[in-house]
Amino acid sequence: MRAEPGQLRSAQTVPEHDLLSRYQQVRQQSHALCAPLAIEDFGVQPMDDASPPKWHLAHTAWFFETFILKACLPDYRVFHAQFEYLFNSYYNGVGQPYPRPRRGFLSRPTVAQIMDYRAHVDEHMFRLLSGGVDDEISEQVILGLHHEQQHQELMLTDIKYNFGHNPLYPTYCENSVAQTQAGSKLAFAEFAGGIVEIGASQGFAFDNETPRHQVLLQPYALAEQLVTNGQYLSFVEDGGYTRAELWLSDGWATLQTQNWHAPLYWQQRDGHWFEYRLDGLHPLAMQTPVTHVSAHEAFAFAQWSSARLPTEFEWETAAGEYPVDGHFADAQLFHPQPAGQEPGMQQLYGETWQWTASAYAPYPGYQPLPGALGEYNGKFMSSQLVLRGASCATARSHARRTYRNFFYPPDRWQFTGIRLAKDV
Q: Where are the beta strands (DSSP E) in 260-372?
A: 266-269, 272-277, 280-283, 353-359
pLDDT interval class at 369 (50, 70, 90)? confident
The pLDDT value given to residue 3 = 33
* Lowest-pLDDT range of 177-181, 188-192, 312-316, 412-416: 177-181
Domain of 365?
A: 188-423
The pLDDT value given to residue 51 = 97
What are the tens digits of pLDDT across the range 161-173? 999 999 999 999 9
pLDDT surpassing 70 at residue 407 = yes
164, 197, 227: which is the final residue of a domain?
164
Calpha distance 197→401 (Å, rounded): 12
Mark whether 160 and 206 lie in a shared domain.
Answer: no
Domain presence at residue 247 = yes
* Cβ atoms within 10 Å, residue 46: 19
What are the tens digits of pLDDT across the range 66-82? 999 999 999 999 999 99
Mark whether 277 and 160 lie in a shared domain.
Answer: no
CA nearest to 224, candidates 274, 185, 266, 168: 185
pLDDT surpassing 50 at residue 12 = no
Mean pLDDT of 297-301: 98
DSSP 237-289: HTTTTT-GGGS-HHHHHHHHHHT-SSSTTEEEETTEEEEEETTEEEE--TTSB
164, 196, 214: which is the final residue of a domain?
164
pLDDT surpassing 70 at residue 15 = no
Domain presence at residue 175 = no
pLDDT surpassing 90 at residue 31 = yes
pLDDT surpassing 50 at residue 8 = no
164, 198, 213: which is the final residue of a domain?
164
Calpha distance 126→13 (Å, rounded): 18
Mark whether 105 and 40 lie in a shared domain.
Answer: yes
Whole-prediction pTM value? Answer: 0.94
Domain presence at residue 8 = no
pLDDT surpassing 60 at residue 126 = yes
**Size of the chain, expressed as the number of residues it contains:** 424
